[in-house]
Structure 1
Amino acid sequence: MCPIKALKGELIAEFIGCFILIFFGAGCVAALVLNEAQYTIWGIAVSLALYLTAAISGAHINLAVTLSLAIYHKFSLAKVIPYMFAQIAGTFKGLP
């Protein structure tokens, strides 16, 4: 597979993972405050985001995870900036 196509897929996966995490996570906190709902949705959101993106991008879904993997493990430094942009875009898009 072409490295550019692979990176594009990884970035889309990170975007979707961050979107799911924030959309459902912030949504469940809003529901808790307004209706005294339970926190079970937060756990489901985290699990769903991880299961959907782990095989494609490694499921970083967090800027700190991406940076730490680049510094302490063998994650490519060339991917850090694109991953961060995808994660920030997914996070902002997921805000309710």
Structure 2
Amino acid sequence: MKKTGNTHIYLSEFLGTFIFLLCGIGCVGALKLAGASFGQWEISIVWGLAVAMGVYVCGGVCGAHLNPSVTIALALFGDFDKRKVVPYILVQMVAGFCAAALAYAMYYNLFADAVAATAGDPAKMTALAGIFCTFPHPKITFFQAFFVELVITAVLMCLIYALVDGRNTAPKGNLGGLLIGLLVALIGASFGPLTGFAMNAARDFGPRLFASRARM
């Protein structure tokens, strides 16, 4: 049966973004709430694998943007339908919100204990909110943080284009998602401590919006 409309495309983009963010947020929750002993490289690898799984679960249907930056870049420099840009971004944001909500529900009791332990201390509350969204290192300025995110997002987009370009020497076949995940892990290990390596408005804004509404 021939599919009509774009509903299945948007649902697919939602699912890929949701899975990627649920696993990534869950990893940070395990670190900050459950005492998991992850280092920066391990956290980066988990986020990278989460991106790869998100790509594989929906790439064949929607292209697996998972990121407003990717959607905008493909509309500006590729052949992505510009009429789909806003719906894609909205779906990605909603997926981020929902992933944060589910992660919160799964860790609920540990969140409650962690919130009580902060005793209203702003620094501790910010650290707890860091499970959902990113914050710059306290020793760097706002403009430096902006510059870092600008550079690493540009590197991300440049290398995504390189990895999926059939004219390049990157491995072919079904390795694209894994290579993009490793790219995310590489950037996270290199520059993650500076800003949290968001590189993705859906990864940060959707969960941040949930955190602002949650009872924390």
**Alpha-carbon distance, 1:2 to partner:** 4.4
Equivalent residue number for residue 45 of structure 1: 50
Find the aligned partners of 2:57 and 2:3 in 1 and give their Cα distance.
22
1:23 aligns with 2:22: yes
Equivalent residue number for residue 64 of structure 1: 69
1:24–1:15 Cα change, 3 Å: same
**Alpha-carbon distance, 1:3 to partner:** 4.2
Write 1 or 2 for the structure with the bigger share of helix: 1
**Alpha-carbon distance, 1:31 to partner:** 1.4
Question: Normalization by structure 2: what TM-score?
Answer: 0.41
**Alpha-carbon distance, 1:41 to partner:** 3.4
Find the aligned partners of 1:61 and 1:86 in 2 and give their Cα distance.
9
Q: Which moved more, 1:36-45 or 1:51-60?
A: 36-45
Question: Normalization by structure 1: what TM-score?
Answer: 0.86
Structure 2 counterpart of 1:70, one-letter code: A
Aligned residues: 94
Structure 1 residues 39-95: Cα deviation after superposition (integer angstroms, max 9, x where no partner): 353333222111011100001000110011001111001111111111111111001
Find the aligned partners of 2:19 and 2:29 in 1 and give their Cα distance.
15
RMSD: 1.5
Find the aligned partners of 2:48 and 2:72 in 1 and give their Cα distance.
24
Equivalent residue number for residue 59 of structure 2: 54
Moved >6 Å (runs of 4+): none
Structure 1 counterpart of 2:36, one-letter code: N
Structure 1 counterpart of 2:37, one-letter code: E
**Alpha-carbon distance, 1:30 to partner:** 2.0
Equivalent residue number for residue 126 of structure 2: none
Structure 2 unaligned blocks of 5 or more: 104-216
Higher-RCO chain (CA-CA 8 Å, sequence separation at least 6) = 1
Equivalent residue number for residue 35 of structure 1: 36
Q: Greater Rg, structure 1 or structure 2?
A: 2
1:75 to 75, 80, 85: 80
